[in-house]
Amino acid sequence: GAVVSQHPSWVICKSGTSVKIECRSLDFQATTMFWYRQFPKQSLMLMATSNEGSKATYEQGVEKDKFLINHASLTLSTLTVTSAHPEDSSFYICSASWAGGPHEQFFGPGTRLTVL
């Protein structure tokens, strides 16, 4: 149980285009979803926290207008990287949890974004 999927698993796009990444909880209702960014051989950096039906809360230094997060349902959150540039190339990972559930977060498999 507690499976989280991400789509796509990898994406290559041209500079200036926008890319949408989906995060789905497959067998539970995720009241909270988290988006992380991971650079090669580095730890995970939390970008934002989203609660279903509410605006996402962004961490300091993360551009809200560049990384649009939507959590419109209890099973789906999306991260849209707008006007992507090569420096946005990274591994993006989502996780999910639910109110009253286990204390751990359940992670998706990640999405590798390469911006040319």
Partner 1 sequence: AQSVAQPEDQVNVAEGNPLTVKCTYSVSGNPYLFWYVQYPNRGLQFLLKYITGDNLVKGSYGFEAEFNKSQTSFHLKKPSALVSDSALYFCAVRDGADKLIFGTGTRLQVFP
Task: Give contact residues for partner 1 (rule: CB under 8 A).
Answer: 4, 6, 32, 34, 42-44, 46, 49, 91, 93, 95, 97, 102-110, 112
Closest to 106 measured CA to CA, from 21, 36, 25, 20 = 25
CA-CA distance, 9 to 15, in Å (whole number)?
19
Write down the least CB distance from residue 50 to partner 1, Å. Answer: 12
Write down the least CB distance from residue 13 to partner 1, Å. Answer: 18
Residue with smaller CB distance to partner 1, 75 or 97: 97
User: By 3-state DSSP, what share of the chain in percent is helix, strand and coil, each rounded to 5?
Assistant: 5, 50, 45
Write down the least CB distance from residue 7 to partner 1, Å. Answer: 13
CA-CA distance, 19 to 1, in Å (whole number)?
29
Amino acid occupying residue 39: F
Tell me if 107 sits within 8 A of 4, measured CB to CB: yes
Write down the least CB distance from residue 4 to partner 1, Å. Answer: 8
Residue with smaller CB distance to partner 1, 16 or 113: 113
Residue with smaller CB distance to partner 1, 32 or 75: 32
Residue with smaller CB distance to partner 1, 11 or 44: 44
Check residue 26 and report its DSSP letter. Answer: S
